């Protein structure tokens, strides 16, 4: 049995609540989707958020380049504030932890056991 999520079309949905932008990502983020992700993040940067939360439950794959784009959003935020990765899928959590890119973000567990 394959534990990988089924492939989905890319989705990027952003919601602004006060100074926080919550971004829901779905699909597989790799080299072919880097321009898609980069362009949408650039638009978010223009709003000068003070906090960025990425909901990543439905991300089936993420390469290091896409993870770096997400981690780099921390450079827009106030000193000491890191982007939040909320409920990363298991494959995303593993990639972030193995690459150490996750140290540039706050990783929130997908369950109380994680």
Give me the residue spans of the domains in the chain: 11-108
**Phi, psi (5° rounding) for residue 6?**
-65, 145
- What integer pLDDT is reported at residue 109 of this predicted model? 75
* Residue 107 DSSP SS3: strand
The pLDDT value recorded for residue 9 is 81
Tell me the C-alpha to C-alpha distance, in Å, between residue 48 and each of 17, 19, 36, 109. Answer: 13, 8, 20, 26
Maximum C-alpha span of the chain: 44
Report which of 43, 41, 15, 11 is spatially closest to residue 28, judged by C-alpha positions.
11
What is the reported pTM?
A: 0.86
pLDDT of residue 16: 94
Per-residue pLDDT of the chain in tens (114 residues, 90 and over written 9): 445 555 668 999 999 999 999 999 999 999 999 999 999 999 999 999 999 999 999 999 999 999 999 999 999 999 999 999 999 999 999 999 999 899 999 998 755 444
Q: Which CATH class is domain 11-108?
A: alpha beta
């Amino acid at each position: 049995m394959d534990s990988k999520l089924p492939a989905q079309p890319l989705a990027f949905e952003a919601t602004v609540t006060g100074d926080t932008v919550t971004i829901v990502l779905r699909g597989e983020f790799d080299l072919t989707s880097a321009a898609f992700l980069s362009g949408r993040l650039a638009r978010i940067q223009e709003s000068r958020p003070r906090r960025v939360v990425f909901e990543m439950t439905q991300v089936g794959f993420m390469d290091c380049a896409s993870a770096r784009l997400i981690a780099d959003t921390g450079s827009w935020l106030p000193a000491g504030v890191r982007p939040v990765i909320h409920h990363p899928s298991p494959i995303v959590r593993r990639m972030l932890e193995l690459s150490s890119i996750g140290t540039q973000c706050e990783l929130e567990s997908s369950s109380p056991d994680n």
